[in-house]
Amino acid sequence: MNTARMTLPVSPLDSQNSQESEIDLMQLFRTLWRGKIWVILTTIIAILIGGYYAYSIATPLYTTRAVVMLENRQEQVVDIQSVMTGLSGDQATINTEVEVLRSRGLLEKLVLKLNLTNDPEFNTDLQPEPFISITKIINFARELTGLPPKGKAQLSERDILDATIDELLKKLMVSSIRQSYVFNIFATSEDPEKAALIANTLGELYIRDQLEVKFDATAQATEWLTERVTQLQAELEDAEAAVKDFVSKTDLVGPKSLDALNRQLKDLRERLLKTKAAQILASEQAKRLHGLAEAQKYSEVVEQANDPTLRRLFLAQDNSDTNNSKAFTARLASILQNVDQKNTQMIDQIDALRQSIDTLQTQIESQSKDLVTLQQLQREAEASRLIYEYFLSRMKETSVQQGIQQADSRVLSYAVVPLRPASPRKAIILFLSAIMGMIFGSGMVLLKEYAQNTFRTPEDLEHLSGATVMGQIPVIPARNRKKVLKYLTDKPTSAAAEAIRNLRTSILLSNVDNPPKIIMSTSSIPGEGKTTQSLALAQNLSGLGKKVLLVEGDIRRRTFSEYFDIKGKQGLLAVLSGEAKLEDVAVYNEDLKADILIGEKSAINAADVFSSDKFHAFLGDLRKKYDYVIIDTPPVLAVPDARVIGQSVDAILYTVKWDSTTRRQVSEGLKSLRSVGAAVTGLVLAQINKRGMKRYGYGDSYGAYGDYYDN
């Protein structure tokens, strides 16, 4: 059955499609069951190939595991986190450490330590060249073309080392265990001891690398800190010397004295303001007194001067005492002089205060600048001292830390020498080989079934043609064609004889009301067994006591001579031309129990002969003289004779050779008959091979021709 027609249901609710799907799946299973021998054979071959590979070809590889744990919490004797911190233990750090374990730098140390560049397992250049290789093929081709063969490329030591590291990477696997600080180091090698050595050495090199990194870091830190402390010490000394030198060159009174000067400056400014106010009053008073005196308004002068003596003298002046007037004038002059003198003194005092303020202000400004400079120098010296002390402390801590460094990891479990190889996994290889063999065998069976273009079952033939298969005739085991009739006569209960009987019955019952009398046998191409079938059918019909005529309608090849000794006799063309009568040229054969009318060679085209009125009249005459007439015609696709004859017969048997005639040949042959109105009565699947049916898995459907009948 052609599995290419298998369809799947569109919807589970569609019962019809579901039924078709089930039928197709069953047909698929039946196809596989029919090809079970191929499936079993390919499975056995695959198992043998897999077993040969697993037990003979494959190199045993041993895998072992070393376990390294990350120490995320370490107690440091000296707190030096600023110099070299430990690992935090978060997921990013763990992933980083996994990559460190697989880093080429660390693996290079491993290769050099174990001298793996001289190990053929890891240095492929040391491995012997295989019997057949691409290099040998290329060199052989170059020799054939006259070119010199290529030599093996010379690699540098660096290239060899890199190639060895690449091979080592293929045989190493590093992984971390989830929710833990544990790493697994898997190493694979052909030597179990070497595998354990590689895993353990890698773990130790990883821990040693951590210590070396820390030692290098602390050494570099110590060296840098030493240089830095020396620089800071010199800077501190320079800063302290600058403070001392500045103090020695300046007359600093200190912050307290500077505060006193500021207070003094404040007092002077207050005195200056008061003196200015008093001087203004004195100046105004002097102006008023001089103005009143000039205006001789002595009463107002006395009032403004507020001097008892001047008042007394002014009052005495009213008594017309000349001496009192002189005394008053002298006293007034004295008062005016005192007022002017006081004003002058105040002006001088203001100038003196201003000078004092300017001097004191200049002194304060100078002292302030010097004090600021001193304080800046002192701060710089103090900062240098603090930095110096800090770096000095760190340098001492780093020096102490160099002797007590600890690694961030430790080997939790060393790898042990494995006792059994990890690969090849023979059971898995055999199991997968069996699966692959079954898949390959099944695919081969399905592909062969899909590509099958011939007919093996009557169902296939009926499905393509639309006609009924009336007979299934097995291969007749006769050594040559002349012994075919003898075989059927000697073995009447054989499968072939019974198949002919079934064919006869089917033909006679194809039209009960008007049983066919003239039966034409044809096929698509030569060699399909139609002539043998015609002889066997004629023999079987004559066995019913009927008068039967076998006509050789293939006058081009004339194959009846291969079955009967009738060469050189007249036949069909002689009857049609009127040269002889049917009774004179028809030959009775004892084995056939029927008359035979052979064909003759003619210069006239055979199709023209069978299209003539004489031939149609001849067939009408045969209907009267014989009970059954069987005409063996040429193949339909070879010549048009069968299409011409088929228009005048009662039944057409179309023979198809089992597992030989292609679907296209049958389709084209039937189409050519239908095109001229010649309907095929029935199909015959001929030359069925019993062993072939069983080989293809159709033995159950062909059981009727198996054990039930005699051979």
Q: Per-residue pLDDT averaged across 12-40, rounded?
A: 65
The whole-number pLDDT of residue 376 equals: 86
If one counts the domains in the chain, the total is 4
pLDDT tens-digit map of 559-573 = 888 888 877 678 888
Is residue 196 located within the same domain as residue 89? yes
Is residue 11 located within the same domain as residue 126? no
Is residue 54 located within the same domain as residue 67? no
pLDDT tens-digit map of 33-57 = 878 888 999 999 999 999 998 888 8
Q: How far apart are CA 22 and CA 8, in angstroms?
A: 9
Full residue range of the structural domain in which residue 518 is found: 481-492+500-649+662-675
- Percent pLDDT > 70 in the chain is 84
The whole-number pLDDT of residue 8 equals: 35
Is residue 442 located within the same domain as residue 297? no
> Strands (DSSP E) along 581-661, which ranges?
587-589, 594-597, 628-632, 651-657
In a domain, residue 412? The reply is no
User: Which of the two residues, 18 and 466, has the higher pLDDT score?
Assistant: 466
The whole-number pLDDT of residue 348 equals: 85
Task: With a cut of 50, say whether residue 153 has pLDDT above it.
Answer: yes
Whether pTM > 0.75 for this model: the answer is no
The whole-number pLDDT of residue 114 equals: 93
Phi, psi of 488 (to 5 degrees): -65, -35
* Among 218, 240, 264, residue at a domain's last position: 218
In a domain, residue 289? The reply is yes
Is residue 262 located within the same domain as residue 396? yes
Is residue 512 located within the same domain as residue 547? yes
User: Which of the two residues, 394 and 17, has the higher pLDDT score?
Assistant: 394
In a domain, residue 469? The reply is no
Q: How far apart are CA 130 and CA 137, in angstroms?
A: 11
In a domain, residue 612? The reply is yes
- Percent pLDDT > 90 in the chain is 29
Is residue 554 located within the same domain as residue 628? yes
Q: How far apart are CA 581 and CA 297, in angstroms?
A: 204
Q: Per-residue pLDDT averaged across 440-460, rounded?
A: 85
Task: With a cut of 90, say whether residue 66 has pLDDT above it.
Answer: yes
In a domain, residue 341? The reply is yes
Is residue 66 located within the same domain as residue 214? yes
The tokens describing 270, both together, are 């207050």
Task: With a cut of 70, say whether residue 324 has pLDDT above it.
Answer: no
In a domain, residue 703? The reply is no
Q: Per-residue pLDDT averaged across 661-684, rounded?
A: 92
In a domain, residue 267? The reply is yes
pLDDT band at 197 (very low <50, low <70, confident <90, very high): very high
The tokens describing 23, both together, are 């039928």
Is residue 68 located within the same domain as residue 51? no
User: Which of the two residues, 109 and 217, has the higher pLDDT score?
Assistant: 109
The whole-number pLDDT of residue 649 equals: 94
Q: How far apart are CA 349 and CA 275, in angstroms?
A: 8
pLDDT band at 152 (very low <50, low <70, confident <90, very high): low
Is residue 522 located within the same domain as residue 445? no
122, 125, 129, 130: CA torsion to nearest 10: 30
Is residue 260 located within the same domain as residue 302? yes
Q: How far apart are CA 647 and CA 668, in angstroms?
A: 18
Which of these, 296, 358, 295, 355, lies nearest to 325 by C-alpha position? 296
Q: Per-residue pLDDT averaged across 588-611, rounded?
A: 86
In a domain, residue 697? The reply is no
Is residue 258 located within the same domain as residue 388? yes
